[in-house]
Amino acid sequence: MTVTGMSGKLRAIGQDVHAWLPPRHGWGLANCGLLVSRDTALWIDTPYDHQLARAFLAQSGAVLPEGVTVDRIVVTHPNGDHMWGAGVLPRAEIIASRQAREHLHFDPHPQQQHALVGAVDPTTPWGAYVVEHFGGYDWSTVRPVAVSTAFTEELELTVGAYPVHLSVLPSGHTQGDLFVHLPAQRVVFTGDTVFGSSPEQPGDHPVHWAGPLAQLISSCRRMLETGAETFVPGHGPVLDAAGLRGHIDYLEYVQERAHACHAAGLTAAEAARSVIDEGRHPELGLPERLLVTIGSEYRGIDGGGQPDMVATMQQVAALAWDLRTGEAPPAGRGGRP
């Protein structure tokens, strides 16, 4: 995978509001938003690296009134694929939840991720997975992004005459998720609390690092209660209310299966493989990511704790290798940690 030609397209989804949608799905290819007024503009999330962010900036500039710049960025959660591109707007105010600012200490920063991609052996299952899914991004000049304004619970903004409602969510995809409601346009930007999929545009299996799934389900229902008609997920196609209800059905299914597998004494990796083998959602890509989500649910059942992201991703790579080849990764070759 490379990001060349993956710069995405800006699509109008309401009055003066646009969604920037990559032309395919996959790790790191996040949706972003733009809200425009006569005298100011707001980004909702940013792409993963500066190459993609500059493409988003150029397309934003094409619809901005003369003299208007993007001067604020709302970050829906603290993962790099939604905030590292903010460096292309060094004067912009960056707004996130206080929990998101604190969560940043647990995630790798851009230089660490850049070094990892350069250090792995691509002939091993782990190295091949890293290069396939992350090798196309360029973080060589990207530096950590600082949050300018952090808040708890709710924050009300205006962009020109348009109200913007920011609401912090309980732990779900990460610690520090929020969603953005544009009531005038009846649009919600969900962040990675929601991963989009439709019959016409199948997406990927969601990946949730924090959990529990019960809180993600509750957060999705809270978004429906806004009365919005359009929901822009963190990844995948734009959804209507029926599409979001379908996503809730998916989360409830994974929740039920995770609890049943936990009660049966299966490990998270065994549970993920069991759920994949049931074949309930063959249209979704990256089924190995179920290991992350089910692992988060297991930690919730067992009493919490932070995941080891690298060790977890190594398990994900091993499962992907197994699913692709039908064999366990060779011992001593960068397979199972």
What pLDDT score was predicted for residue 307? 82
Q: Sign of the C-alpha dihedral, residues 153, 76, 231, 32?
A: positive
Number of domains into which the chain is organized: 1
pLDDT along the chain (337 residues), means of 10: 63 98 94 98 97 96 97 97 97 96 85 95 96 96 94 97 98 96 98 96 97 97 98 98 98 98 97 97 97 97 86 96 78 39
In a domain, 195, yes or no: yes
What pLDDT score was predicted for residue 330? 57
In a domain, 336, yes or no: no
Please give the radius of gyration of the chain, using alpha carbons only, rounded to the nearest integer.
19
- The residue ranges of DSSP E strands in the chain, in sequence order, are 9-14, 17-21, 32-36, 41-44, 70-74, 93-97, 149-151, 154-159, 162-168, 178-182, 187-195, 230-235
Residues ≥6 apart with Cβ < 8 Å to 225: none
In a domain, 258, yes or no: yes
In a domain, 214, yes or no: yes
- What Å distances lie between residue 103 and 69, 80, 91, 210, 323, CA to CA? 29, 12, 23, 11, 32
The amino acid that residue 98 corresponds to is: R
CA pair distance 217, 221, nearest whole angstrom: 6
The amino acid that residue 232 corresponds to is: V
332 backbone dihedrals φ, ψ, rounded to 5°:
75, 10
What pLDDT score was predicted for residue 334? 41
In a domain, 127, yes or no: yes
In a domain, 97, yes or no: yes
Pairing mode, strands 149-151 and 154-159: unpaired
Q: Which domain holds residue 263?
A: 9-325
In a domain, 179, yes or no: yes
For every residue of 81-100, DSSP letters joined together read GGTGGGGGSTTSEEEEEHHH
- What Å distances lie between residue 66 and 37, 39, 43, 158, CA to CA? 11, 9, 17, 20
Contact 221, 180 (CB under 8 A): no
What pLDDT score was predicted for residue 327? 66
User: CA 225, 227, 233, 237: dihedral to nearest 10 degrees?
Assistant: 130
What pLDDT score was predicted for residue 294? 98
The amino acid that residue 164 corresponds to is: V
In a domain, 330, yes or no: no
Looking up tokens 């996130």 gives: 96
CA pair distance 9, 55, nearest whole angstrom: 9
What's the predicted TM-score (pTM) here? 0.94
The CATH number of residue 55's host domain is 3.60.15.10
What pLDDT score was predicted for residue 273? 97
